[in-house]
Amino acid sequence: MAAAGKRERRSLWIAAIPMALLALSCVYPIYFAVNNALKTSKGYILDRFGLVTDPTVQNFADAWGRARFSEYFVNSVLVTAGAVGLLLLLSSLVGFALAMLRFPGRRFVFVAILAALMIPIQVVLVPFYRTVEGLGLLNTRVGLVLAYTAFFLPFSIYLMTAFYRGLPRELLEAARMDGARFLEVWWHVMLPLGRPALLTLGILNTLYCWNDVLISLLVLQDRRTLMVGIAALRGSTRPTCRSSPPGSCWRRRPSSSSTSSSRGASSAASPWAP
């Protein structure tokens, strides 16, 4: 028995070796990116993989200023903050209602929301774009906030409902006995109790919104969020791109390139206007 335990301990030490390599692979690309971002164009050409010898922050300044990243950054921050705030507000309200309140069709509403979760953006790409356009929300940050909220809401509602489901309904009844209105119960009882779930949701939704490319590419064509801006810089690691005048590498709205006919060509990094 003791021998078995010892053998397992040894196996764990052996397993730690590939696991450490995997961990290293998780860190390496980040090192690679930061290391190269600090190099000058010359330093990058001379030694692509070595440790930076002539650190410079010029690339960051270029990205921030010339490549309009300051503008993209503001867009990303505003849109993410708006969407996450709206998502937390709506999902905690709806989660409270679905988990605690009694009303006809409750189960149906819950299943319908889960079903809406199954409609991915890809499936509604064309009409979704037309809808946004028709509502006059194209190229507006409000439009993107609403779009994000609509697409990440079902999952948020699901999580909040499941969380509030675990709380006793007596909480609601006791507060009601004391004369609290439903909105007050939500504000004073449900919101504070829901903090762990709301925190998780806040983090997840921030990641989703901040990292999204596709929805942003559709809704905010003129103004761009950070991730779309970075995607448009594909191949920017080539030094020629760094030293060329602004505008030649970063076309703001290359709608003309959408006529290029080759499928799967490298020019895919351009927003399109149907």
Using CB under 8 A as the criterion, what x/- string covers residues 124-143 for binding another protein? xxxxxxxxx--x--------
Which residues, 237 to 256, sit near another protein by CB under 8 A? Answer: 237
Decide whether 58 or 200 has the Cβ nearer to another protein. Answer: 200
The minimum distance between CB 85 and another protein, in angstroms, equals 14
Using CB under 8 A as the criterion, what x/- string covers residues 182-221 for binding another protein? xx-----------------------x--xxxxx-------
Read off the amino acid at residue 129.
Answer: Y
Decide whether 55 or 127 has the Cβ nearer to another protein. Answer: 127
Using CB under 8 A as the criterion, what x/- string covers residues 24-63 for binding another protein? -xxx-xx-xx--x-----------xx--------------
Total of residues contacting another protein (CB under 8 A): 101
Percent of the chain as helix, strand, coil, to the nearest 5 = 70, 0, 30
Strand (E) or helix (H) holding 211: helix 195-211
Closest CA to 67 of 37, 31, 30, 42: 37
Q: What is the DSSP string of 111-149?
A: HHHHHHHT--GGGGHHHHHHHHHHTT-TT-HHHHHHHHH
- Contact between 154 and 113 under an 8 Å Cβ cutoff? The reply is yes
Which residues, 75 to 114, sit near another protein by CB under 8 A? Answer: 90, 93-94, 96-99, 101-104, 106-107, 109-111, 113-114
Contacts of 28 (CB under 8 A, 6+ apart): none
Among 43, 82, 154, 194, binds another protein (CB under 8 A): 154
Is residue 263 close enough to count as binding another protein by CB under 8 A?
yes
Among 162, 187, 199, 244, binds another protein (CB under 8 A): 162
